[in-house]
């Protein structure tokens, strides 16, 4: 049995949410789709899908395998698209959405170089921190800083960042320096509204994972505002390295409990589909991947 077809069929079932819809999208019979998935599960020796008469859901093994399938299939499609469009100039409008702080600090300095390389591409860049609906709102590409959940969207990781817990020396002199995440409940904290875990902050410690429910004195949907409040000695903040790295280096912010590490987040280029990916979007993705690649 063709492993590629098995993987393609399994991914189509997950994306469509049913065997019937997957069969339509693949131009196969429902029986053929069921057979491919059953053969895949038999070969792997695990159940990938929970099946009921009303719905399908992924098992834990299914979620892991689906992520790998999506990545491998996407790479194959991207390679085919690159070959197929190799002789086509990148041109036209690309609508991009990105988080505000990352867009200003990290992306804004890059757009000039991109336009110099690809003068026929026109950019329309929108900055906001909410998660936009790419298809509904007409974006070709979005930058997301997160641990991505299961999605029908396609993603390409361009970099990573880490959340760092910190405060000013002045705040710590007044309120004391916490030595364990559990002590944060007694501290003033500054919270980023769009943090995936909300006011519950998670850490990887020497003895494993630790989480604490904070009681923020300040909520905001903007990272720069979180940073400004922290620099004004208002409390403890947890923000990504790209935002507060210079403050840590200058000593205006001090990292707390480094043995309890904040989450590592991927920085992704997210787009609706790799199928027939246009040259203008493809060259932008490749440009961003190259721009954020570590230099030797």
Q: In this predicted structure, what is the pLDDT of residue 84?
A: 61
Cα(273)–Cα(194) distance, rounded to whole angstroms? Answer: 25
Q: In this predicted structure, what is the pLDDT of residue 275?
A: 57
Higher pLDDT, 84 or 77: 77
Q: Is 296 a member of any domain?
A: no
- 258 & 207 share domain: yes
Cα(13)–Cα(187) distance, rounded to whole angstroms? Answer: 48
Q: Is 132 a member of any domain?
A: yes
- 232 & 106 share domain: no
Q: Is 255 a member of any domain?
A: yes
Q: Is 74 a member of any domain?
A: yes
Query: Do 55 and 247 touch, CB atoms closer than 8 A?
Result: no
Query: What length is written for the chain?
Result: 296
Cα(106)–Cα(282) distance, rounded to whole angstroms? Answer: 20
Instruction: Cite the DSSP H helix spans in the chain.
Output: 3-16, 19-26, 30-44, 60-84, 100-102, 108-117, 134-137, 169-175, 223-231, 241-250, 279-291
- 177 & 36 share domain: no
Q: Is 147 a member of any domain?
A: yes
- 155 & 286 share domain: yes
- 149 & 283 share domain: yes
Cα(236)–Cα(243) distance, rounded to whole angstroms? Answer: 15
Domain count of the fold of the chain: 3
Q: Which of 61, 84, 107 is the last residue of a domain?
A: 84
Whether 216 has a pLDDT exceeding 90, the answer reads yes
Q: Is 122 a member of any domain?
A: yes
Cα(253)–Cα(272) distance, rounded to whole angstroms? Answer: 39
For the chain, percent of residues with pLDDT exceeding 70 = 92
Q: In this predicted structure, what is the pLDDT of residue 223?
A: 93
Whichever domain contains 152, its CATH number is 3.40.190.10
Q: Which of 84, 102, 132 is the last residue of a domain?
A: 84
Whether 246 has a pLDDT exceeding 60, the answer reads yes
Query: Do 78 and 274 touch, CB atoms closer than 8 A?
Result: yes
The chain-wide mean pLDDT, for the chain, equals 89
Q: Is 131 a member of any domain?
A: yes
- 256 & 166 share domain: yes
- 272 & 152 share domain: yes
Query: Do 65 and 9 touch, CB atoms closer than 8 A?
Result: no
pLDDT in tens, 143-200: 999 876 655 678 889 999 999 999 999 999 999 999 999 999 999 999 999 888 889 9
Q: Is 79 a member of any domain?
A: yes
- 77 & 118 share domain: no
- 51 & 195 share domain: no
Domain that holds residue 124: 92-160+266-291
Report the candidate in 214, 205, 206, 183 with the shortest Cα–Cα distance to residue 262: 205
Query: Do 185 and 213 touch, CB atoms closer than 8 A?
Result: yes
Report the candidate in 281, 190, 187, 188 with the shortest Cα–Cα distance to residue 244: 190
- 154 & 166 share domain: no
Q: What is the pTM of this model?
A: 0.66
Distance of CA 277 to CAs 205, 226, 285, Å?
42, 37, 11
Burial pattern 7-33, b for ≥16 Cβ within 10 A else e, equals bbbbbbbbebeebeebbeebebeeeeb
Q: Which of 55, 84, 113 is the last residue of a domain?
A: 84
- 184 & 152 share domain: no
CB proximity list for 274: less than 8 A, separation 6 or greater = 74, 77, 78, 81, 154
- 7 & 124 share domain: no
Q: In this predicted structure, what is the pLDDT of residue 88?
A: 59
Q: In this predicted structure, what is the pLDDT of residue 56?
A: 86
Query: Do 40 and 14 touch, CB atoms closer than 8 A?
Result: no
Whichever domain contains 54, its CATH number is 1.10.10.10
């Amino acid at each position: 049995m063709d492993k590629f077809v098995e993987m393609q069929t399994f991914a189509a079932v997950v994306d469509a949410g049913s065997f019937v819809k997957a069969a339509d999208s693949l131009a196969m019979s429902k029986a053929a789709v069921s057979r491919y998935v059953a053969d895949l599960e038999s070969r792997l020796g695990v159940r990938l899908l929970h099946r009921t008469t009303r719905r399908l859901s992924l098992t834990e093994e299914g979620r892991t395998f689906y992520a790998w399938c999506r990545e491998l299939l996407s790479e194959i499609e991207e390679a085919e698209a690159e070959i197929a469009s190799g002789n086509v100039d990148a041109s036209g409008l690309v609508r991009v959405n990105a988080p505000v702080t990352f867009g200003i600090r990290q992306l804004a300095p890059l757009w000039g170089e991109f336009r110099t390389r690809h003068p026929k591409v026109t950019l329309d860049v929108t900055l906001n921190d909410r998660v936009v609906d790419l298809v509904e709102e007409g974006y070709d590409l979005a930058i997301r800083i997160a641990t991505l959940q299961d999605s029908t969207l396609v993603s390409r990781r361009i970099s990573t960042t880490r959340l760092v817990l910190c405060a000013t020396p002045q705040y710590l002199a007044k309120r004391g320096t916490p030595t364990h995440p559990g002590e944060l409940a007694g501290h003033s904290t500054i919270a980023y509204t769009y943090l995936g875990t909300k006011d519950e902050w998670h850490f990887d410690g020497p003895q494993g994972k630790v989480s604490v429910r904070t009681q923020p004195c300040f909520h905001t949907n903007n990272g720069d505002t979180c940073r400004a409040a922290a620099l004004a000695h208002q409390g403890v903040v947890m923000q990504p390295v790209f935002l507060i790295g210079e403050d840590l280096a200058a000593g205006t912010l001090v990292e707390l409990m480094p043995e309890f590490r904040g989450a590592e987040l991927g920085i992704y280029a997210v787009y609706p589909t790799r199928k027939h990916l246009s040259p203008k979007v493809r060259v932008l993705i490749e440009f961003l991947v190259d721009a954020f690649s570590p230099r030797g």
